Amino acid sequence: MLTTIVSRYSTNRSELLESGLSKLKALFDHPLCNIPGSPIPEEDWLLKVIPKVKASEKSSQMWSVSYNSYWFIPVLLNSNSHPPWLRFHLGISRWQLYPHHDPNMEALTQQLATHRVVSAVQKSGGTQLKLVMSFPNYGKAMVKPMKQDRNDETNYNLYYFSDFERHNAEIAAFHLDRILGYRRVPPVVGRLVDVVKEVKEVTTDHKLARTFFTSPVGNVCFYGQCSYYCSTEHAVCGRPRNLEASLAVMLPDISLAARRAWRSPWRRSYSRSKLAKWETEPDYCSKVKKTPPYNKGTRLVDFMDMVILDFLMSNMDRHHYETFEKFGNRTFLLHLDNGRAFGRHSKDEPSILSPLEQCCRIRRSTWLRLRLLSLPQYRLSDVMRASLSNDPLHSVAPLLSEPHLAALDRRLKTVLETVGRCQKQRQESVIVCEQAQLFPQAGSRWTYGM
Ligand SMILES: Nc1ncnc2c1ncn2[C@@H]1O[C@H](COP(=O)(O)OP(=O)(O)OP(=O)(O)O)[C@@H](O)[C@H]1O
Ligand SMILES: [Mn+2]
């Protein structure tokens, strides 16, 4: 009897996955997701490579590649290809981190998931333990270990700024961001890390090495050094050595591509007793709309894109966001640090949508995409389930449980209802068509009267 139920359940799940995969393909092939743009002008690429080949070196296979002619990386070029991480860096433009149909994505995620780890050190800064891993081809990844079971719901008495980060949230955020058509989260994959072979034995970080110990049940654990949660009580442990982790591809070093951090105008107070201005001032958005950089170009609708991503995954921790300095104010927003998302499925957090509610602005392409994802043939939960099944950790357990997937559909409905209310209430335009994004050279903005 039990076996029949179990096998029926797994048949249902694999059927769901099958149909989800074809929905995902249909979504990515949909004309709305394939609007042709004009070629990208040279100044809209973040970096460029100038191969430097000396005559004496031509016979050897070692080349020096220089980024913008001031950074040298030895690259083995026995075929005429760059390593996947370098191709990723070279594909970053003013409007996105990687292209829609990216021929490099498979190799890039494969590298993160399988390449030998040659070093692992603690990443300095930030509040919680994270590592930087390096690969033989000079690629690097930012690693967040699993700190709590992926199905544990965040305790209701915990403030958002005290919650542990989740490795599966980092992975799921990458998939969601891509499904929304943003491409503003650096690619992330899951990996079972052998904490002895791939961290302890290869680290040059003595402070990190000193924090390894064996738990009473024989699991290998470590806790590192950081400003919170780095103690024996908060150690991360393998089973007995294997530890789930998220690996995000590293962005180009800031010495090559400086980034600017922007304080979110809708930042939470990060205090247990104070409210932020946006929570008390009824006309808060009209002030923001008049304040640079939100008064011009795409910044306000870019911000709304990020708000929608955060509401869907219930991330309350977006205190800052970053942009590449090279592109000034006319560029996309990086959606880094998504570890505090997907903490609760049984509750939504309406305050995350406050900016959309207060400003009533949304980019037209985002609105159309969200409407597509609310249709049964492209349903958000189905395409997310399918997309996440491509991650290596899916074989351990689904990265988002069914209640989390169902929450995505429920929250999407709320976003569309909020836009609907805006359309009814407001005289001015709600849906903003960003010509600047679809046709980067045009640079102008026009609105759709509603
Ligand atoms: N993929 C990446 N490549 C390069 N740098 C990154 C990447 N992801 C994040 N960073 C940088 O590392 C910093 C810390 O990362 P992150 O915010 O994820 O950690 P955190 O511990 O949550 O930090 P905080 O507590 O300050 O929010 C970020 O502010 C960002 O500048
Ligand atoms: Mn953080």
pLDDT digit string, tens, across residues 350-395: 999 999 999 999 999 999 999 999 999 999 999 999 999 999 999 9
Q: Residue 447: pLDDT above 50?
A: no
Whole-number Å distance, alpha carbon 319 to ligand 2 midpoint, is 9
β-pair partners for 189: 247
User: What whole-number percentage of the chain has pLDDT above 90?
Assistant: 71
Residue 6 confidence class, pLDDT cut points 50, 70, 90: low
pLDDT digits (tens, 9 = 90+) for 44-79: 999 977 665 555 554 444 445 555 443 455 554 433
In a domain, 134, yes or no: no
Q: Given the CA of residue 248, which atom of ligand 1 is nearest to it?
A: 1
Whole-number Å distance, alpha carbon 171 to ligand 1 midpoint, is 14
Residue 187: name the closest of 91, 60, 326 by CA. Answer: 91
In a domain, 388, yes or no: yes
53: containing domain: 47-90
385-413 burial code (b ≥16 CB/10 A, e <16): bbbbbebbbeeeebbbbeebbebbbebbe
Strands 213-214 and 188-194: unpaired
Q: How many domains does the chain have?
A: 2
Whole-number Å distance, alpha carbon 317 to ligand 2 midpoint, is 7
Whole-number Å distance, alpha carbon 142 to ligand 1 midpoint, is 8
Assigned token pair, 257 = 């591509």
Tell me if 83 CB under 6 Å of ligand 1: no
Q: Residue 80: pLDDT above 60?
A: no
* DSSP-derived 3-state class of residue 253: coil
In a domain, 30, yes or no: no
Strands 431-433 and 362-363: parallel
Please tell me the distance from the alpha carbon of residue 67 to that of residue 51, in angstroms, as a whole number: 9
pLDDT digits (tens, 9 = 90+) for 249-288: 999 999 999 999 999 999 998 788 889 999 999 899 999 9
In a domain, 167, yes or no: no
Residue 429 half-sphere exposure toward CB, CA atoms < 13 A: 13
Q: Given the CA of residue 144, which atom of ligand 1 is nearest to it?
A: 18
* DSSP-derived 3-state class of residue 80: coil
State the chain's mean pLDDT as an integer.
88
Q: Is 317 a catalytic residue?
A: yes
Find the mean pLDDT for residues 396-416: 97
Tell me if 336 CB under 6 Å of ligand 1: yes
Determine contact, residues 373/353, Cβ cutoff 8 Å.
no
Tell me if 186 CB under 6 Å of ligand 1: yes
Residue 340 half-sphere exposure toward CB, CA atoms < 13 A: 18
Tell me if 221 CB under 6 Å of ligand 1: no
Q: Residue 307: pLDDT above 60?
A: yes
Of 90, 109, 125, which one is at a domain's C-terminal end?
90
Whole-number Å distance, alpha carbon 203 to ligand 1 midpoint, is 20
Please tell me the distance from the alpha carbon of residue 411 to that of residue 408, in angstroms, as a whole number: 5
Q: Residue 241: pLDDT above 90?
A: yes
Nearest ligand atom owner, CA of 144: 1
Catalytic residue among 317, 348, 391, 409: 317
Determine contact, residues 173/385, Cβ cutoff 8 Å.
no
128 is in an annotated binding site: yes
Tell me if 126 CB under 6 Å of ligand 1: yes
Percent of the chain as helix, strand, coil, to the nearest 5: 40, 15, 45
β-pair partners for 322: 261, 334
Assigned token pair, 130 = 């994270």
Determine contact, residues 366/304, Cβ cutoff 8 Å.
yes
The amino acid sitting at 88 is F
Q: Which residue has the tokens 């070029």?
A: 77
Cα 119–Cα 127–Cα 168 angle in degrees, nearest 5: 70
* DSSP-derived 3-state class of residue 214: strand
Of 75, 90, 105, which one is at a domain's C-terminal end?
90
Nearest ligand atom owner, CA of 122: 1
| Predicted TM-score (pTM) of this structure | 0.91
Q: Which residue has the tokens 């052998």?
A: 194
Please tell me the distance from the alpha carbon of residue 374 to that of residue 378, in angstroms, as a whole number: 7
170 is in an annotated binding site: no
Find the mean pLDDT for residues 429-449: 48
Nearest ligand atom owner, CA of 128: 1
In a domain, 329, yes or no: yes
Least confident of 4-13, 52-61, 215-224, 255-264: 52-61
Tell me if 185 CB under 6 Å of ligand 1: no
In a domain, 7, yes or no: no
The amino acid sitting at 379 is R
Please tell me the distance from the alpha carbon of residue 3 to that of residue 1, in angstroms, as a whole number: 5
Please tell me the distance from the alpha carbon of residue 246 to that of residue 209, in angstroms, as a whole number: 20
Nearest ligand atom owner, CA of 170: 1
205 is in an annotated binding site: no
- Give the end-to-end CA distance of the chain in Å, rounded to a whole number: 57
106 is in an annotated binding site: no
Q: Given the CA of residue 186, which atom of ligand 1 is nearest to it?
A: 1
251 is in an annotated binding site: yes
In a domain, 356, yes or no: yes
322 is in an annotated binding site: yes
Which secondary-structure segment (H or E) carries 140? strand 140-145
Of 35, 66, 90, which one is at a domain's C-terminal end?
90
Residue nearest to atom 9 of ligand 1 (CA): 336
In a domain, 393, yes or no: yes
Q: Residue 342: pLDDT above 70?
A: yes
